[in-house]
Structure 1
Amino acid sequence: MTEHLTTLGIQIVPKSKNLDTYQLVDAAIEVISRSGITYQITPFETVMEGPYPQLMEIAEQAQKAVLDAGADECLVYYRIHYRKDADVTFAEKRLDR
């Protein structure tokens, strides 16, 4: 892949018979927050900005956190934007242009 900045949107949908979905999602968001990378939480996904390998590692840790918090299973959806020779940043995707 690329070592340039990448944006990765991740939606983790936990499934549990007994636990609150939002609490389980919060476990994933905590991992992302502690990572120190730039991120934005939206109603449907959390979008991160950073080097591709680091983002994939964080995504894996976030999924594990949801299972460790008690989810029986989880569905995970990714959206990734990268370029082979240049960064992809939040700044270029600003909504207030």
Structure 2
Amino acid sequence: MHHYLVNASLQIVPVVRDRHPYEWVDEVIAIIQSSGIKYEVGPFATVLEGQYDEVLKVIMAVNEFLYQRGCAEWISNIQLQIRSDGDITGEEKTAKFTQP
């Protein structure tokens, strides 16, 4: 795949009773934070921005982390936006809605 910037929305929904789901989500956010790619945590999902392979690497790392740590079950909701001929950024899509 190309080396342009892409956007992805990643929502992790733990289907567990062993601990509060937010605890799993907090650990996932720490994985994202340590990845070095641009991200924005929202109330329902985290938006990732970076090169295609970098973004997919983070998504794979998150799922591998949950598996390795023994999370019994989770749902990964992923949206990925790709532009064939250039970068696509979150700012480009939301700048006109930013409050002063």
Percent of pairs identical after alignment?
Answer: 31
Q: Alignment partner of 1:33: what SS?
A: helix
Contact 1:27-1:62 at 8 Å conserved across structures: no
- 1:37 corresponds to: 37
Q: Does 1:22 align with 2:35?
A: no
Aligned alpha-carbon RMSD (Å): 1.4
Structure number having the greater helix percentage: 2
- 1:90 corresponds to: 90
Aligned mates of 1:38, 1:47 — CA distance in 2: 8
What amino acid is the match of 2:57? E
Aligned mates of 1:80, 1:2 — CA distance in 2: 14
Unaligned runs of 5+ in 1: none
- 1:75 corresponds to: 75
Cα shift at 1:43: 0.9
Cα shift at 1:3: 1.5
Given the two structures, how large is their TM-score scaled by the length of structure 1? 0.90
What amino acid is the match of 1:12? I
